[in-house]
Amino acid sequence: MEMTFDIKTMITVAGVIALIGGFYYSTQHRLGSLEDQISEIGQKIDIQSGELNQIQKQLKKGKK
C-alpha cells in the first residue's frame, strides 16, 4: 500500500495546522491577559473594602 501526497495536499494540511496553532496561541495569550486584569481588579476591591470598613467604623464612633 503506497501513499503519495501531492504538494497541494501538504500545503493544505500545513495551513490547517498553522491556523489551529495560531488560534491556540492567541487564545492562551488573551486568557492570560484576562487573568492578570481580574487579579488587579480583585486587589483593588480588597483595598476598597478595607477602606469602606474603616469609614464605617469611624461613622459608628461618631454617632456614639
Digit-coded pLDDT (tens) for 16-51: 999 999 999 999 999 999 999 999 999 999 999 999
Q: Rounded CA gap, 14 and 27, in Å?
A: 20
Residue 63: its pLDDT value, please?
Answer: 75
Is residue 64 predicted with pLDDT exceeding 70? no
Q: Average pLDDT of 2-9?
A: 85
Question: Can you tell me whether residue 9 is helix, strand or coil?
Answer: helix
Phi/psi for 4 (5° steps) reads -125, 140
Residue with cell 467604623: 57
